[in-house]
Chain A
């Protein structure tokens, strides 16, 4: 039973678990001032784990392992690498967090959540899917409320927990109905059962709605988004970054796998639902981002709208659509982590997190100013950054599938987006500190930030210019869905 392929299919998770155990064992023996080294261990370990997986854990033909629980294919593999990359960057950003950075539990919880996300990307069975979603979520509830002496963080953790459990219960109900209709928990068998035509379209539509509610919460699309701004604002900033990127991307991984594989028979109804949700998410997210004064809340609403853009690719329900979603996720993860990382680096020195506090940043630290430029222009969808290419690809997929109206909504929203993203840059580049003495208020970047941010900014630019290999992998992954 336990063959090489089985081993290879869960190799990344095994390695992540070992890193977690290592952190758990070593951390108590370290002196207080060395405890942040858990971050080096986590990030370095993940980097090595990625290389080892790339060398020995690459999938060949799609296969099902562990009794049909895990599907071992390129889609899962590429997304796993993406999550691990995001987690490594988050670990680096976490290291110099004043309160969370020196506590080994933070890294351990993040790694536990990462295992859940990895499994989300490769589950081929409803039971496994639900378990992996919970594995990914529960550590994140704790991490959001990690700052015990901070009321906002406690509130964030509790709010996220309440919303999260409610959403996952609803989704679980959907899963149980799905099992009832089809008599199986295997996604591919479910697809066959639903195609046979024994399930009425109306019932299927109900099930779809229940599942959409659960996954909509994970990827924070309107109207399941209410938790996002409060949680992002309250949670430790690196955790918020992780939530808005890896966690969201994992949700999309499930959306792709579940809807493309299990529900093709009812594609008309769910693409319509997603089209509406996508349009509403983009519009509401962008409009509510306009009046925000807190940079983390602004990024929260922006991430809601980005979920809407990415959903256009899923609505297209084609190979190009799926590939464009995966590419969008990759570009978005790098970009948004960069934005959150910069906010974190700024906050660590100044303790401030309002947009207006960014005034004079480009003079206080020119490099940070330029990185801010790259991050926000990429979010706005401008070349030569990843955001532009990603947007063009999802729009191309939307138009190919005759969803021109949705693309037009997306384009109107990009214009709104440009306004508030540029507004942030206005503070960074144009406005000055009250005393105009920026030289006396530098914002130094510590080593872990420097590494993480430079890697991310290079990633954002590479994905915007030499996008071919990334799209190639996305496309190889998308191929596995059909």
Chain B
């Protein structure tokens, strides 16, 4: 028997969370150290999975583990794990965000700074790891029931994390709004999944929640057209698709830094991934039928999100809306249903995850020290926090889609793919590149390089060593993918080619 690496990756955070909860409440540093150790192990394991997938033959699902969980007709649920070319990068992404999130939550005991999590860090890390375990679970699950199981686990800790440790002004409102939006989306998709289960049984006589089986369930075109939208949009709510994106910026703003990183970096990918995995791959005919609507929604999200980001004065809202815009690009790539577009969507999921985690990390560092996120009140950060400034600029370049960074590798194929389907959408969506460049550069100038306001003078110190490690890690991945696309592109291509066979090779 081989080492059950995916199970270990998934269940380690849960076990660690329980362990951390059992530590005495006043042992804050021990809780942090245990969290960091767990995050490092999970990062290494997920990197191992990634490298193994990349270096061996890149085909189909690998690292497969299958244990029957409940097989009492008419129910059949299995713990079926495996990764393909789409999900392996996302597992790695979760490992990266988990690692850096723990680092920047470590905190700084300096009473002027009070960065990171000082109040009840034990509970914080436990809930954060519950979330992380749920996210890993969704990315590796090949069983629809288990996918939902982990999906819901990934949703509800958000409520606590935002409501307890969030920004006092809006946290209650934002946390409840976020949870309700996501829960509505997921239960709507759940109905679709149950209907698919029984319809599969009627069609083929197979009773199984296994998604690899469901791909051959022979759903009729009418069935697919009816259920594609509820399933796809139900998940896509978490991907921040317009017009259901409203929860997302509010949630980003209210959340503490590490949770914002998780939220924008990983959770939104969870939505897009599940929409792709369940919506497009199980109901391909429905996807073809409705792709115009998804493309419309995504196109609006791209341009509208970028424009709203442009007019924000709160740094976190700006990044929040830029996430909506960038996730719109992912959805746009998915809606093309062609090889190039899906490839771009796959890379964009990874690239945006790392980039936005970096943005939120830097914003959190600035806020912890200056106690404001309002862009007009900030300035001259480059002088006191040079390292964070470099990180933010690299993130900005990725965001604009500059060649040499991962953003370019992602956005270029998306626009190519869209051009192939509907050139007008590509033209309109490309406006967003200009707007993005405008707001990123404007903010870099104002926040980092304009003269520092008197109020802040002398109050701001540099970031900690751990923060620097986190920023470096994130930057390395963005530059690495940009300079050596072969580290990721062939892998995602292998995943996409499988989706293309499901779509009928079109």
A193 CB-CB contact with B under 8 Å? no
Q: Determine the chain B residues whose CB is within 8 A of the CB of A399 once the complex forms.
A: 191, 194-195, 198
A426 CB-CB contact with B under 8 Å? yes
B148 CB-CB contact with A under 8 Å? yes
A63 CB-CB contact with B under 8 Å? no
Q: Determine the chain B residues whose CB is within 8 A of the CB of A377 once the complex forms.
A: 156
Is there an interface contact between A320 and B74, defined as CB atoms closer than 8 Å?
yes
Q: Which of A284-340 contact B (CB under 8 A)?
A: 320, 323
Q: Determine the chain A residues whose CB is within 8 A of the CB of B149 once the complex forms.
A: 383-384, 388
Q: Which of B141-155 contact A (CB under 8 A)?
A: 145, 148-150, 152-153, 155
Is there an interface contact between B179 and A422, defined as CB atoms closer than 8 Å?
yes
A382 to B186, CA, bound (A): 11
Is there an interface contact between B72 and A472, defined as CB atoms closer than 8 Å?
yes
B197 CB-CB contact with A under 8 Å? yes
Would A429 and B164 be within 8 Å (CB), given that A388-B152, A399-B194, A471-B75 are in contact? yes
Would A415 and B180 be within 8 Å (CB), given that A382-B152, A388-B149, A429-B164 are in contact? yes
A53 to B243, CA, bound (A): 58
Select B191's contact among A400, A404, A467, A475, beta carbons within 8 Å. A404
Is there an interface contact between B190 and A468, defined as CB atoms closer than 8 Å?
no
Select B195's contact among A323, A404, A415, A425, beta carbons within 8 Å. A404
Residue of B nearest to A320 (CB): B74
Residue of B nearest to A398 (CB): B194
A406 to B445, CA, bound (A): 56
Would A422 and B176 be within 8 Å (CB), given that A366-B25, A471-B72 are in contact? yes
A407 CB-CB contact with B under 8 Å? yes
Q: Determine the chain A residues whose CB is within 8 A of the CB of B425 once the complex forms.
A: none
Shortest CB–CB separation between residue A444 and chain B, in angstroms?
A: 16
B350 CB-CB contact with A under 8 Å? no
Flag B128-171 by CB within 8 Å of A: 1 or 0 each: 00000000000000000100111011011001100110000001
B465 CB-CB contact with A under 8 Å? no
The segment from A140-148, A222-230, A389-397 that touches chain B is: A389-397
Q: Which of A357-374 contact B (CB under 8 A)?
A: 362, 366, 370, 373
Is there an interface contact between B69 and A468, defined as CB atoms closer than 8 Å?
yes
Residue of B nearest to A400 (CB): B198
Chain B contact residue count (CB 8 A cutoff) = 35
Shortest CB–CB separation between residue B347 and chain A, in angstroms?
A: 31
Shortest CB–CB separation between residue A270 and chain B, in angstroms?
A: 23
Would A468 and B70 be within 8 Å (CB), given that A395-B190, A418-B183, A419-B176 are in contact? yes
B187 CB-CB contact with A under 8 Å? yes
Shortest CB–CB separation between residue A74 and chain B, in angstroms?
A: 14
Is there an interface contact between B197 and A430, defined as CB atoms closer than 8 Å?
no
Q: Determine the chain A residues whose CB is within 8 A of the CB of B30 once the complex forms.
A: none
A425 to B190, CA, bound (A): 25
Q: Which of B159, B180, B187, B195 has the most CB of A within 10 A?
A: B187
Is there an interface contact between B188 and A411, defined as CB atoms closer than 8 Å?
yes
Shortest CB–CB separation between residue A421 and chain B, in angstroms?
A: 10
Is there an interface contact between B160 and A411, defined as CB atoms closer than 8 Å?
no
Q: How many A-B residue pairs have CB under 8 A?
A: 84
A391 to B190, CA, bound (A): 11
Shortest CB–CB separation between residue B144 and chain A, in angstroms?
A: 11
Q: Determine the chain B residues whose CB is within 8 A of the CB of A380 once the complex forms.
A: 156
A408 CB-CB contact with B under 8 Å? yes
Q: Determine the chain A residues whose CB is within 8 A of the CB of B194 once the complex forms.
A: 392, 395-396, 399, 407
A388 to B77, CA, bound (A): 15
Would A426 and B75 be within 8 Å (CB), given that A392-B145, A396-B194, A404-B195 are in contact? no
Is there an interface contact between B75 and A320, defined as CB atoms closer than 8 Å?
yes
B184 CB-CB contact with A under 8 Å? yes
Would A471 and B70 be within 8 Å (CB), given that A388-B152, A422-B176 are in contact? yes
Would A430 and B191 be within 8 Å (CB), given that A388-B152, A392-B148, A471-B75 are in contact? no
A414 CB-CB contact with B under 8 Å? yes
Interface residues of A toward B: which range?
A: 35 or more
Q: Determine the chain B residues whose CB is within 8 A of the CB of A400 once the complex forms.
A: 74, 198
Residue of B nearest to A472 (CB): B72
A423 to B160, CA, bound (A): 11
Q: Determine the chain B residues whose CB is within 8 A of the CB of A422 once the complex forms.
A: 159, 176, 179
A373 to B161, CA, bound (A): 13
Residue of A nearest to B72 (CB): A475
Q: Determine the chain A residues whose CB is within 8 A of the CB of B190 once the complex forms.
A: 392, 395, 411
Q: Determine the chain A residues whose CB is within 8 A of the CB of B197 once the complex forms.
A: 396
B65 CB-CB contact with A under 8 Å? no
Shortest CB–CB separation between residue B365 and chain A, in angstroms?
A: 25
A120 to B184, CA, bound (A): 38
Q: Determine the chain B residues whose CB is within 8 A of the CB of A392 once the complex forms.
A: 145, 148, 190, 194
B108 CB-CB contact with A under 8 Å? no
B123 CB-CB contact with A under 8 Å? yes
Q: Determine the chain A residues whose CB is within 8 A of the CB of B184 once the complex forms.
A: 415
Q: Determine the chain B residues whose CB is within 8 A of the CB of A373 once the complex forms.
A: 160
B172 CB-CB contact with A under 8 Å? yes
Q: Determine the chain A residues whose CB is within 8 A of the CB of B183 once the complex forms.
A: 414-415, 418
Is there an interface contact between B152 and A383, defined as CB atoms closer than 8 Å?
yes
A423 to B384, CA, bound (A): 42
A422 to B183, CA, bound (A): 12
Is there an interface contact between A414 and B163, defined as CB atoms closer than 8 Å?
no
Select A419's contact among B145, B155, B171, B180, beta carbons within 8 Å. B180
Would A426 and B172 be within 8 Å (CB), given that A392-B190, A399-B198, A400-B74 are in contact? yes
A393 to B145, CA, bound (A): 11
A23 to B211, CA, bound (A): 56
Q: Determine the chain A residues whose CB is within 8 A of the CB of B159 once the complex forms.
A: 422, 425
Q: Determine the chain A residues whose CB is within 8 A of the CB of B25 once the complex forms.
A: 366
Residue of A nearest to B168 (CB): A430
A414 to B153, CA, bound (A): 16
Is there an interface contact between A430 and B75, defined as CB atoms closer than 8 Å?
no
Shortest CB–CB separation between residue A380 and chain B, in angstroms?
A: 8
Q: Determine the chain B residues whose CB is within 8 A of the CB of A404 once the complex forms.
A: 191, 195
Q: Determine the chain A residues whose CB is within 8 A of the CB of B45 once the complex forms.
A: none
Shortest CB–CB separation between residue B434 and chain A, in angstroms?
A: 40
A426 to B148, CA, bound (A): 25
B375 CB-CB contact with A under 8 Å? no
A393 to B197, CA, bound (A): 12
B21 CB-CB contact with A under 8 Å? yes
Residue of B nearest to A402 (CB): B198
Is there an interface contact between A414 and B198, defined as CB atoms closer than 8 Å?
no
A430 to B155, CA, bound (A): 18
A411 to B195, CA, bound (A): 14
A425 to B72, CA, bound (A): 35
A467 to B77, CA, bound (A): 11
Q: Determine the chain B residues whose CB is within 8 A of the CB of A320 once the complex forms.
A: 74-75
Shortest CB–CB separation between residue A454 and chain B, in angstroms?
A: 13
Q: Determine the chain B residues whose CB is within 8 A of the CB of A323 once the complex forms.
A: 72
Q: Which of A201-255 contact B (CB under 8 A)?
A: none
Would A467 and B179 be within 8 Å (CB), given that A366-B25, A392-B148, A399-B198 are in contact? no
Would A393 and B75 be within 8 Å (CB), given that A388-B149, A404-B191 are in contact? yes
Q: Determine the chain A residues whose CB is within 8 A of the CB of B187 once the complex forms.
A: 411, 414-415
Residue of A nearest to B126 (CB): A370
Select B156's contact among A366, A382, A407, A475, beta carbons within 8 Å. A382
Q: Determine the chain B residues whose CB is within 8 A of the CB of A411 once the complex forms.
A: 187-188, 190-191
A423 to B179, CA, bound (A): 12
Closest 3 A/B residue pairs (Cβ): A411-B187, A399-B194, A468-B70
**What are 26 A-B interface contacts by the 8 Å CB criterion?**
A320-B74, A320-B75, A366-B123, A370-B21, A373-B160, A382-B156, A383-B152, A383-B153, A392-B145, A392-B148, A396-B75, A396-B198, A407-B191, A415-B184, A418-B179, A418-B180, A423-B176, A425-B159, A426-B163, A426-B172, A429-B163, A430-B163, A430-B171, A468-B70, A468-B72, A471-B70
20 new A-B contacts, CB < 8 A, other than A380-B156, A422-B179, A430-B172, are A320-B75, A366-B123, A382-B155, A383-B153, A388-B149, A392-B194, A395-B190, A396-B194, A399-B195, A411-B187, A414-B183, A415-B184, A418-B179, A419-B180, A422-B176, A425-B160, A426-B163, A430-B163, A468-B72, A472-B72
